[in-house]
Amino acid sequence: MASKLLALTCIRSEGRIQPWTRPRYPSMPTYPKGVMAEEGSSSMEAGSEAKALFSVVGMTCSACAGSVEKGIKRLPGIREAVVDVLNNRAMVLFHPSFVNDETIREAIEDAGFEATLFRDEMNERSIQVCRITVTGMTCTSCSSTVESALQAIPGVLKAQVALATCEAEVHYNPNIVNHNQILEAIEDTGFEATLISSGEDINKVELQVDGVRTEHSMRVIETSLKALPGVQDIELYPELNKISVSFKPDVTGPRNFIKVTEKIGSRRFKAKLFSQQGERRDTLQGKEIKQYYRSFLWSLVFTVPVFLTSMVLMYIPGIKHGLDTKVVNMLTVGQIIRWVLSTPVQFIIGRRFYSGSYKALRHGSANMDVLIALGTNAAYFYSVYSVLRAASSPHFEGTDFFETSAMLISFILLGKYLEVFTKGKTSNAIAKLMNLTPDTAILLTLDDEGNVANEEEIDSRLIQKNDLIKIIPGAKVASDGFVVWGQSHVNESMITGEARPVAKRKGDPVIGGTVNENGVLHVRATRVGSESALSQIVRLVESAQLAKAPVQKFADRISKFFVPLVILISFTTFLAWFFAGRFHAYPKSWIPSSMDSFELALQFGISVMVIACPCALGLATPTAVMVGTGVGASQGVLIKGGQALESTHKVQCIVFDKTGTLTIGKPVVVNTKLLINMVLQEFYELVAGLEVNSEHPLAKAIVEYAKKFKEEENPAWPEARDFVSIPGHGVKAIVRNKEIIVGNKSLLADHNIAVPAEAEDILAEAEGMAQTGILVSINGEVAGVVAVSDPLKPGAQEVISILKSMNIKSIVVTGDNRGTANSIAREVGIDEVFAETKPEQKAEKVKELQAAGYTVAMVGDGINDSPALVAANVGMAIGAGTDIAIEAADIVLMKSNLEDVITAIDLSRRTFFHIRLNYIWALGYNLLGIPIAAGVLFPLTGFRLPPWIAGAAMAASSVSVVCCSLLLKYYRRPKKLDKLEIRGISIE
């Protein structure tokens, strides 16, 4: 087990690979056939993994990429292989002990393609990730345009653009392209791009240095910081007086950088931490909301008078006469007022639509801006034509539609304001998580004797590894670490979702962002900054919200032809009504008195153009995924994006590991039977005095149980003389002048100690209950039997029962012996058991279930179960604790209880119910709205939809979709889980 854990640690620390798709559960290596994990792990030293990037020539489609990927993965020692058909590349992560890059290249060529290794590009900085805020996107056509532009850049390996978050995540090779070129590419598509973060170094800090007047001073600071031990890289931004420092957190930290900077020269420099990413994101989001709000208010200033002069004041006799006063020929005062007032709305306030449509058309796509620009321009320029003709003709009485263009733009701006405002609400989960960290922390300084010499309040972002932090009652824990002094209860619900406060004492781990409830704690910081559990959770949720669910491909496909189709329908509607009027296909009484047949046809055409809403379709999936993943995070269920969310709601069969999943994973004493007259406390003092010298898990369980009879935290046990450990059998020693032997029957038989029939019965009973019976002999006589068991997790039986009621099949697959596995399965109510299975056999069982037509979820502890977790449709890691396995599972259940398996499935089902509702509304709106706008009801009812009302309906549709997604914020886990009476672990 220790070797496996070592292997796992090595892989996580050295093998970070984020090419085009993230491996779902890369916590264990893939070993060649015939090589056991124990053998393979011996070679898995730090740095034993290698990455190779190949140029693959000849791929034309995804089937080609699949052939290449299969050919590579058939080789031994391949951990991950990802093929990018767009850029004709393959990224491979492998173990050089088993395979080399030449063998991989030959495997690609055997698949029928030419392959070349990029040797000069494969260094430790060969892949970087940058996150960018993209403003100005209105629909999926916009996000697809940006995504296509990014993927076309040489050196970009993967690009994801999320419409709901207005963010892009780009994986790129810094030897070929840099983030400035990526920003330029986005801006070239017509959208504003702002860098959130660049590079993949998680140990990076940005400093704002005041007092710098020359570039020479900046260089002096750079040289001084580079000289510090642990500093890896420095980037200067002279225009912002900003310095970015990458460092090794075990060696140095931000406090050292600030001290060194402020000691340079005449101490005129002042350094502080640059604003956090979250603050910058909030600033950009707030700026966009303010821009739409300001534009809407300005449009109202001009639109309200236009509306009044055309719709209200015309019915007031005195004012009507003034508005109808002729100025030149048939040109009236009212027409001039409406023309003057609507022009700023059309060209100044509405210029964003011209800009957006021009840039979209320039790149061969059409978005919502194109529809708005066409609709408003048709109304505005026909009105201009009508006014000019009235001014030049003594007989022409034209009708203007200035109020149509002005009101359209106003309503659309209102809709966009409400949309960005409500979209901001969908990402509240991340904001809440980021705000959990306290602003300040109390740093303790110790003297030579280990006593507290000084207390200093510092910015919590300045905490460094191994700092000693004081946490007072009611304060938030400032950093991940462990308690070195004090006792208290800590409320971890904001991180794990677990409502009950957790007792903490010396040696216990604590998580940054949790709340200390009563006692004072001194905590040694172990993970700081972006390494902390909270930062990892934030990154996971951010990545989840960027990842597209497969169901979103439906909206992406529609968006490609949606706008051109709407334009075609709009022109067809206009022509149909125009020719119908010209050839008298309908009675003249249908035409309103204020317009002619051409104007009626024009209104129908504009209404069709502006009522169609591609935004609603584009927002249907990502907003629901955003809220769903955020709600899951708040309840201790971390879901890695849309793919995992979509697969989870389809789960029909769940495969459970036993140890650490169905059971606690830690042996405890559950029963004791004495066969001689003796006080139980004295019995356990003798046994603990012996077992305290052993490292065996069963020995530790006995010592832990013996502490119940002592009041001290670390009791002193009797001395054991002549201690002997017999591997696989037990231990013996002299304790208090008595010969104590603790072990199995064979050990007692070797010492000629007879086991009485009563003890034999107790042992048989224990084995039938999946317990391990341990015999204790004192001075050659069996004194008692201690039963040790790995007990079931509280609520395991009830959870399996609920899964049955949900028509989900449950199976146990474990490496333990058959008797223990069957006993545990019977206790929880699972009928199908596969015992004594190796890790690869677990994966084979999952594949068998998938071949039988099941959508399979695998629930395991994230160590020995990784092959099965990878093979399953959904991998759920349980028992994550503070070491959140960010790159491990599709779903991480942070509370380590089985209830959250049900919560994850139920949340997935609820999220997809809302996604379906969104699609029904978005599609239904367009399918009903377009025909009504085209006038299908007009011949029968006389009802027609004015363009400005059609525009208001379009604006309302996308807002309604976002609001439907926001209802997920009120999600509560199934009531049957609240009614569960969670059993405690019974220990006799």
| Residues annotated as part of the active site | 657
Find out whether 150 and 363 touch, Cβ atoms under 8 Å: no
DSSP string, 274-288: PPPHHHHHHHHHHHH
Pairing of strands 468-471, 521-527: antiparallel
Cα separation, 790 vs 466, whole angstroms: 34
Q: Which residues, including other chains, have CB under 8 Å from residue 308's CB and lie 6 or more apart?
A: none
Nearest Cα neighbor of 146 from 678, 431, 559 is: 559
Query: Which are the contacts of 370, defined by CB distance < 8 A and separation ≥ 6?
Result: 357, 360, 361, 563, 567
Q: Which residues contact 433 (CB under 8 A, 6 or more apart)?
A: 513, 534, 537, 538, 541, 633
Say if residue 753 is exposed, middle or buried (CB neighbours under 10 Å; 0-12, 13-18, 19+).
middle
Pairwise CA distance, residues 821 & 568, whole Å: 66
CA distance 733 to 737: 9
Which residues 6+ apart lie within 8 Å of 628 measured at CB?
A: 639, 645, 907, 908, 910, 911, 914, 968, 971
Q: Let me know the angle formed at the C-alpha of 685 by 716 and 735, rounded to the nearest 5 degrees.
A: 90
**Which of helix, strand or coil describes residue 128?**
strand
Strand 167-172 to strand 114-117: parallel, antiparallel, or no bridges (unpaired)? unpaired
Closest CA to 784 of 918, 876, 669, 661: 669
Cα separation, 252 vs 23, in Å, equals 32
Q: Give every strand in the sheet of 468-471, ordered side by side.
A: 452-459, 440-446, 468-471, 521-527, 480-485, 509-510
Alpha-helical runs (H) found in 780-898: 796-805, 818-828, 839-851, 866-871
- Among residues 498, 651, 23, 527, the alpha carbon closest in space to that of 253 is found at 527
* DSSP assignment string, 24-53: S-TTS--PPTT--HHHHHHT--TT--EEEE
Secondary structure letter of residue 203 according to DSSP = S
Nearest C-alpha neighbor of 333 from the set 310, 302, 307, 300: 310
Long-range contacts of 123-126 (CB under 8 A, 24+ apart): 125/174, 126/51, 126/53, 126/173, 126/174, 126/175
Q: DSSP letters along 686-753, please?
A: HHHHHHTT---HHHHHHHHHHGGG-SSSSPPPPPEEEEEEETTTEEEEEETTEEEEEE-HHHHHHTT-
Helix (H, G, I), strand (E, B) or coil at 431: helix
Asked if 770 contacts 833 with a C-beta cutoff of 8 angstroms, the reply is no
Rounded to an integer, what is the distance from CA 67 to the centroid of its chain? 30
Backbone angles phi, psi at 453, to 5 degrees: -100, -25
Contact between 740 and 686 (Cβ < 8 Å): yes
425: closest CA among 968, 913, 909? 968
What distance in Å separates the CA atoms of residue 626 and residue 614, rounded to the nearest whole number? 19
Query: Cα-flanking dihedrals φ and ψ of residue 195, to 5°?
Result: -70, 130
* DSSP-derived 3-state class of residue 608: helix
State the distance between the two ends of the chain, measured CA to CA, in whole angstroms: 30
Tokens of residue 255, six digits: 């406090």
